[in-house]
Amino acid sequence: MESTANADLTDLWDRVFGTQAAPEQWLVIAAGVVALAVVVPHALWRLSRNAITIAHEGGHGLVALLTGRRLDGIRLHSDTSGLTVSRGKPTGLGMILTAAAGYTAPPLLGLGGAALLDSGRITAFLWIATALLVVMLVMIRNAYGALTVVLTGGTFLVVSWLANTDVQAAFAYAVVWFLLLGGVRPAFELQSKRRRGGAGDSDADQLSRLTHVPAGMWLFLFHAVSLCSLMGGGRWLLDV
């Protein structure tokens, strides 16, 4: 019985962390087109942006913990906004990194996902994403946020556990394309809001107050991270 259990664990390890064959190029391109189709149209973006908000607030929360801050909770709202509350020193490097992590998290997660897919670890990407969503669920403090994370995590779990390899590959590539492409748009939206005199308490403005560096420079950083991640991740996904 012990040998059977060990064999089952070995099989599970190989299934999750083993490598899978790269999908056909047409599937990779099709996944990118699907991701683009839910990012560009305003009506679909209003819905799909919830997933970007999960990554955005999750980035704040993760970096807050990594820098020694106490994470009190995360809220996700139906208007695709979010709020991450942490305790600790109100100034200093930890607070700066925490504030900077929101807009940079989705494209950097997409870049990391592209690296995993480029190495053939499709199932590993799906399981790592599921694990991150489970951890985030523990810190959610409102019903809408919990529902959003549960539905998203459930989708990842079902695909990673029940779907065949072709479906897993299509889903994984679509998700990574979505993070890369969807990670670009929020910085432009923030720039547009600030141009109209809105978003006075945005991450860029908070960073400006913390560092005395103009908010426009932080916006430039957000743009640079998202666009560079898209170019680098796209090259990995397309294998060029």
Instruction: List pLDDT tens digits, range 72-106.
Output: 999 999 999 999 999 999 999 999 999 999 999 99
Dist CA 111 CA 33 (whole Å): 18
Dist CA 43 CA 58 (whole Å): 24
Q: Which residue has the higher pLDDT, 14 or 76?
A: 76
Beta bridge partners of 165: none
Q: Please check whether residue 194 is in contact with residue 215, taking contact to mean a CB–CB distance below 8 angstroms.
A: yes
Phi/psi-derived region of residue 40, left when phi > 0, alpha when psi is between -120 and 50, beta in every other case: alpha
Query: Please, which pLDDT band fits residue 201 given cuts at 50, 70 and 90?
Result: confident
Q: Average per-residue pLDDT in the chain?
A: 92
Query: Please, which pLDDT band fits residue 19 given cuts at 50, 70 and 90?
Result: confident
Supply the pLDDT for residue 82. 96
Q: Is the dihedral of CA 223, 226, 228, 230 positive or negative?
A: negative
Q: Please check whether residue 79 is in contact with residue 158, taking contact to mean a CB–CB distance below 8 angstroms.
A: no
Query: In terms of Cα–Cα distance, which of 50, 87, 48, 80 is closest to 65?
Result: 87
Q: Residue 9 pLDDT more than 60?
A: no
Domain boundaries, the chain: 24-238
Query: In terms of Cα–Cα distance, which of 187, 207, 39, 181 is closest to 107?
Result: 181
pTM of the model: 0.93
DSSP state of 129: H
Q: Residue 17 pLDDT more than 90?
A: no
Q: Residue 185 pLDDT more than 70?
A: yes
Query: Please, which pLDDT band fits residue 161 given cuts at 50, 70 and 90?
Result: confident
Q: Please check whether residue 101 is in contact with residue 95, taking contact to mean a CB–CB distance below 8 angstroms.
A: no
